[in-house]
Amino acid sequence: MDTQHMEPGYNASPPYNAASPSLGGNESDDSNHIQPETHLQYNRVDEQILHMDHNISQASSLLHATQRDLFNYSTAFTTLTDRCSSLQHRLNNEHQLRIGCTQAYNSLYAQHQMAVHELQQTKTKCWLLQQELFVVQNYEAQKHSNADNNSGNGQEGWIWTFEARIKELEEGNEKLKEENGKLKETLANAEHSGVQGTPRKGRAAKGQKTKQVVIAEDGM
């Protein structure tokens, strides 16, 4: 019998032994005679049994409480497991979202680089157009300021009398067309007659026409 869980100060008696001389045992002829010490031992045993029943009841209550706590812990663990799964799913979604954002950023950055390149090209074109506009404006301003200067001396004379020069070239072009028609007729006649001198003259005249056009273009 376990006496470790008994109340402090309680001294348990030795267990009952039917063969013990103190209880009569085989030495007593009267088997129904019980000595006072035996009654005292019985009472102590009953007290021990009651005390152990109380301890068992407390242990049972403690076991039930432990089982209840274990169930609560199990429920809490299941809840935490579900929450961890939810957080892991959310983390995976955020990771995919971050990858998508990174790809979108890289695409936008590439578009930005292309836009910067196009902007630089546009700036260059604008600068060239500004230079051409400056030249045209300068030419117009000088043309109006020197409208009365028709001397034609030097390079500036060609620029200031640009329109007059164009008119002269148009008139000269008409004359060259007429001469060209005549030269074609002369060349055709020379080819039929076998004369070689006339084509050379025709070619020279044609070359003179080309030279006049080139001069007109240089003047422009």
pTM above 0.85, yes or no: no
For residues 71 and 145, give the distance between their C-alpha atoms in angstroms, rounded to a whole number. 106
Tell me: the pLDDT tens digits for 87-103?
A: 999 999 999 999 999 99
Q: Is 26 helix (H, G, I), strand (E, B) or coil?
A: helix
Q: pLDDT at position 198, please?
A: 45
Last residue of a domain, one of 122, 142, 166: 122
Q: pLDDT at position 177, please?
A: 75
| Choice between 118 and 216, residue whose per-residue pLDDT is larger | 118
Q: Do 118 and 169 belong together in one domain?
A: no
| 69 domain residue, yes or no | yes
Q: Do 94 and 155 belong together in one domain?
A: no
Q: Do 108 and 166 belong together in one domain?
A: no
For residues 21 and 179, give the distance between their C-alpha atoms in angstroms, rounded to a whole number. 172
Average pLDDT score, the chain: 72
> By the 8 A CB rule, do 171 and 165 touch?
no
Any residues with CB less than 8 A from the CB of 23 and at least 6 apart, and which? 16, 17, 35, 37, 38
In this prediction, residue 193 has a pLDDT band, given cuts at 50, 70 and 90, of low
Last residue of a domain, one of 122, 142, 168: 122
| 136 domain residue, yes or no | no
Any residues with CB less than 8 A from the CB of 30 and at least 6 apart, and which? 24
Of 88-97, 148-157, 198-207, least confident by mean pLDDT is 198-207
Q: Do 204 and 163 belong together in one domain?
A: yes
With vertex at residue 210, the alpha carbon angle to CA 209 and CA 213, rounded to the nearest 5 degrees, is 90
| 49 domain residue, yes or no | yes
Q: Do 111 and 168 belong together in one domain?
A: no
For residues 117 and 139, give the distance between their C-alpha atoms in angstroms, rounded to a whole number. 33
% pLDDT > 70, the chain:
59
Any residues with CB less than 8 A from the CB of 146 and at least 6 apart, and which? 156, 160
Q: Do 47 and 117 belong together in one domain?
A: yes
Whose tokens are 């680089």? That residue is: 113
Last residue of a domain, one of 122, 142, 159: 122
Task: State phi, psi for 151 to the nearest 5 degrees.
Answer: -65, -35
41 by Cβ neighbours in 10 Å (0-12 / 13-18 / 19+) ranks as: buried
- List alpha helices for the chain, DSSP H: 36-145, 154-160, 162-193, 197-219
Q: Is the pLDDT of residue 72 over 90?
A: yes
Q: Is the pLDDT of residue 86 over 90?
A: yes
| 139 domain residue, yes or no | no
Q: Is the pLDDT of residue 48 over 80?
A: yes
Q: pLDDT at position 66, please?
A: 94
| 191 domain residue, yes or no | yes
Tell me: the pLDDT tens digits for 6-38?
A: 444 444 444 444 444 444 444 444 455 667 777
Tell me: the pLDDT tens digits for 153-184?
A: 445 555 555 666 677 777 767 777 777 777 77
| 25 domain residue, yes or no | no
Domains in the chain: how many in total? 2
Q: Do 50 and 112 belong together in one domain?
A: yes
| 6 domain residue, yes or no | no
Whose tokens are 């074609």? That residue is: 184
Q: Which domain holds residue 185?
A: 151-219
Which residue type sits at 8? P
| 134 domain residue, yes or no | no
> From the CB of residue 202, how many other CB atoms can be counted at a distance below 10 Å?
20
